[in-house]
Chain A
Amino acid sequence: MCPSEPVKHPEIVPTGLDYVTSVESTEVVSIQENYDLWIDGAPTKPSTNRYFQTVNPATEEALSRVAEGGRKDVQKAVEAARKAYNGAWGKMQKSERAKYLYRIARMLAERSREFAVLETLDGGKPIKESRDFDLPMSSAHFFYYAGWADKLEYAFPGLGTDSIGVVGQIIPWNFPMLMVAWKVAPALAAGNTVVLKPAETTPLSALAFARLTAEAGLPPGTVNIITGDGRTGAELVEHPDVDKVAFTGSTEVGKQIQHRLAGSGKRLTLELGGKAPHIIFDDAPLDQAIEGIVNGIFFNQGHVCCAGSRLLVQESVFDALMDRLKLRLRSLRVGDPLDKNTDVGAINSPAQLDKITRLVEIGQAEGATMYQPPCELPERGYWFTPTLFTGVSQSHRIASEEIFGPVLSIMTFRTPAEAVEKANNTPYGLSAGVWTTKGSRILWMADRLAAGVVWANTYNKFDPGSPFGGYRESGFGREGGRHGLLPYLEGGW
């Protein structure tokens, strides 16, 4: 009898209770046929006269047509933001700014179901997650930063409380509404005004948020939303009257933006990719570690920059862990994101599905062993079965490249030092996970892991009050917490 209690489950098949589908109603949401840009507190037709489709990735059905912003539109949006910065928002008493942010927080909570459904329709994430995570966190983020708006002098003693000006923000498609909150709340709390570009595949919640700010009475121009693809984003980044750029997305695009801004004097913060090590020691609470692993890689279909995508397992517990992990995978429910019992939803776009598929093929070609649980995927829409790879080594592409999908690469290690070495053997440094019952080992590991967030005996935890952001090529600057204000204050990072 070894302490790790090796598990074999010849007969157990976790099933669920023959749940009948329990689909969240979409009646709560009304989606317009067309969405214009949101500039200076009002819908504004794009100068390009072009609109692009946004589709539901679970059904491939078109949801709406959204304006494609061009240079002139960016110009208008930045002008509106400048006007608000020099005027209503910039000159507003800080305590009044705080009250606006509180109001937005409350309104988001009030309409959370509507936004959650919209988020799931547009992005493919399970309603369980948009309902229980994205929306509550979005509201909480505004509530948290609202409190800072009139207390800035206490945040960083001696630094001052000057805002920066007009901030250009570009966000990704994996947490569309939550990223709006992460970007907008601290920027406004510090007194800046905002031009934000949501991702082209998931613009709807940001556009709904724009309307919410109008309903909240936020002065026009304080928050402007311009939709479009990378070209629209480039226009925003390069606009001369943008004082600061905040970007969340891939490391590749982050570097491009850094290139574009070289010598411009614009401030920049980047929240980029990752290939997080998730380390399991042989004294770990195994069943909870399994949940951490599953949550780490299958949460939001693995479309998470801090996904625990490289599992490092101590050799002595490898078999026991793998048995449990495979068993647990069989209970994952993949399918209609609107079904309240869905655990893994749709892949966000055909492009992303291609990327995942390609990397998984590469993983097989590289000789790694693939495991996928029996899984029936819907006929329409973009889907990928939760996937494990064992027999992976550091040199495999599936161990070094960010897949951004429900694919876990599993490696083993023998000693803590080896775990640290493998964990840090990447240009990324966003997050890391460690599971062990030994307290001193946790602190020893936490000291050595090159990662902006270390989850010990837990994974994928977020809080408005807790800073998030990377080391090395995972970017710079922090979002959340007191430190999340620094990118939006003069003299900060």
Chain B
Amino acid sequence: MVSRLEVRKTYKLYIGGNFPRSESGRSYPALDHRGEIAARVAAGTRKDLRMAVRAARSAQSGWAARSGYNRGQILYRVAEMVEDRAAAFNAAIRLFGVGSAGARREVAGSIDRLVWYAGWADKFAQVLGNLNPVSGPFFNISVPEPTGVVGIIAAESSPLLGLVSRLAPVIVSGNTAVVLASEQWPTPAIALAEALATADVPGGVVNILTGPKDGMVPYLSSHLDVNAVDAYGAEPGQMEEIEQAAAGGAKRVVRPPRTKLDWDKAQSPYMIAAFTEIKTVWHPKGL
């Protein structure tokens, strides 16, 4: 048998629909459970973050302007792409020493979560919004609108399900996202980026950065063009730093749950609500 050299994948960032290397030209080694290098991954910096926020901002109004039906279809398409690449996702997770059953559960859970949120795209406004019966001849309606650009600090421990569980409720309403992937376990996030890129998700709607979080979290949290920070998957110990930075722009911060993280159960329309703003419109009713 003729020996064949394996073609290795370069793990890059995902910004504005493209896969650039870090502007720093650096990468870092992600280690597996034995402490051996599982992959070399782009080491994103605050400058990459800046580019990602810019991409997210320019994609936001267009993404929000799409119909819920369309966003739902696209999220469902992401689920299809992940399913199609299940083997690759399994491999990306198993790189770090997770058993095959655990990897399969993580991938299957992620796909199902995407499908669940896909269905909310054209329904959350009906559940989270309502007509208000005010005293007086006025039509008065409250509707949820996307907050804007959301920074997601992804969980370290659940590299795919933890990420998808936060990303889906953010983008389903029309927000765009800048994700700081699990630093210790980044490859599933990049696999997800590759699925997103082939699933009709417009460039810039999701931007995924790998690299040392310490160098990016403060800039993400304080960035005045980031409207909300999702720290649901962050460590409680990080919260003071994140919230200090966010306070400068009166920014919304979603904190880790008070109870123990349970990614199997982390789905709710109120997780969509956390990244929406209620807009109330008044109009007189008269001749």
Contacts and interface: CB of A to CB of B under 8 A. Distances in A.
Contacts of B227: 472
Dominant secondary structure of chain B at its interface with chain A:
mixed
18 contacts: A156-B270, A157-B127, A158-B269, A158-B270, A159-B270, A263-B243, A429-B277, A442-B283, A457-B283, A457-B284, A458-B282, A465-B140, A466-B134, A466-B140, A469-B278, A474-B250, A476-B277, A493-B273
Given A456-B282, A467-B132, A469-B278, 9 more contacts: A258-B243, A259-B244, A262-B243, A265-B236, A453-B279, A454-B279, A457-B283, A463-B135, A474-B250
A263 B250 contact: no
B239 A471 contact: no
A159 B240 CA distance: 27
A255 B282 contact: no
B248 interface: yes
A50 B273 CA distance: 45
B35 interface: no
Interface residues of A, number: 50
A258 B283 contact: no
B281 interface: yes
A454 B250 contact: no
B266 interface: no
A483 B243 contact: no
Given A159-B270, A263-B243, A492-B270, A467 B250 contact: no
A82 interface: no
B280 A453 contact: yes
Contact of A467 (B142, B268, B269): B142
Question: Chain B contact residues (Cβ within 8 angstroms of A): what range?
Answer: 35 or more
Contacts of A478: 278
A105 to B, nearest CB: 14
B102 interface: no
Contacts of A473: 249-250
Interface string B232-268: 0000100111111011111010010010000000001
Contacts of B250: 251, 254-255, 258, 270, 272, 472-476
Q: Which 10 A-B pairs have the closest CB atoms?
A: A263-B240, A262-B243, A258-B247, A463-B134, A262-B244, A259-B247, A466-B132, A473-B250, A456-B283, A454-B281
A465 B278 contact: no
A261 interface: yes
B274 interface: yes
Given A140-B135, A463-B140, A492-B270, A456 B243 contact: no
A295 to B, nearest CB: 13
B277 A452 contact: yes
A455 interface: yes
A384 to B, nearest CB: 28
Interface string A206-219: 00000000000000
B126 interface: no
Contacts of A429: 277
Contacts of B140: 463, 465-466
A102 to B, nearest CB: 17
A453 B132 CA distance: 13
Nearest to A439: B283
A471 B277 contact: yes
A446 interface: yes
A177 to B, nearest CB: 19
Contact of A466 (B240, B244, B273, B282): B282
Contacts of A455: 282
Interface in A224-269: 251, 254-256, 258-259, 261-263, 265
A467 B242 CA distance: 28
Interface of A: 140, 156-159, 251, 254-256, 258-259, 261-263, 265, 270, 272, 427, 429, 442, 446, 451-458, 461, 463, 465-469, 471-476, 478, 481-483, 486, 491-493
Given A452-B278, A463-B132, A492-B270, A483 B283 contact: no
Contacts of A481: 130, 132, 142, 280
B67 to A, nearest CB: 13
Nearest to B247: A258
Interface string B142-154: 1000010000000
B271 to A, nearest CB: 10
Nearest to A272: B250
Nearest to A251: B250
B25 interface: no
A364 B274 CA distance: 43
A341 B241 CA distance: 53
B69 interface: no
Interface centre among B244, B277, B278, B283 (most CB of A within 10 A): B278
B281 A476 contact: no
A474 B278 CA distance: 13
Contact of B138 (A270, A458, A483, A486): A458
A468 B280 contact: yes
A140 B136 CA distance: 13
Contacts of B270: 156, 158-159, 491-492
Given A262-B247, A473-B250, A452 B282 contact: no
A255 B247 contact: yes
A491 B232 CA distance: 13
B249 A446 contact: no
A454 B247 contact: no
Interface string B104-130: 000000000000000000000001001
B279 A265 contact: no
A456 B281 contact: yes
A159 B270 CA distance: 8
A261 B255 CA distance: 13
A251 B247 CA distance: 10
Contacts of B284: 457-458
A475 B133 CA distance: 25
A427 B273 CA distance: 22
A140 B227 CA distance: 34
B124 to A, nearest CB: 13
Contacts of B133: 465
A287 B59 CA distance: 40
Contacts of B142: 466-467, 481, 483
A475 B240 CA distance: 19
B276 to A, nearest CB: 10
Nearest to B135: A463
Nearest to A454: B281
Given A156-B270, A451-B279, A471-B277, A263 B248 contact: no
Nearest to B140: A466
Contacts of B246: 258, 262
Nearest to A490: B258
Contacts of A256: 247
Given A259-B244, A465-B132, A452 B279 contact: yes
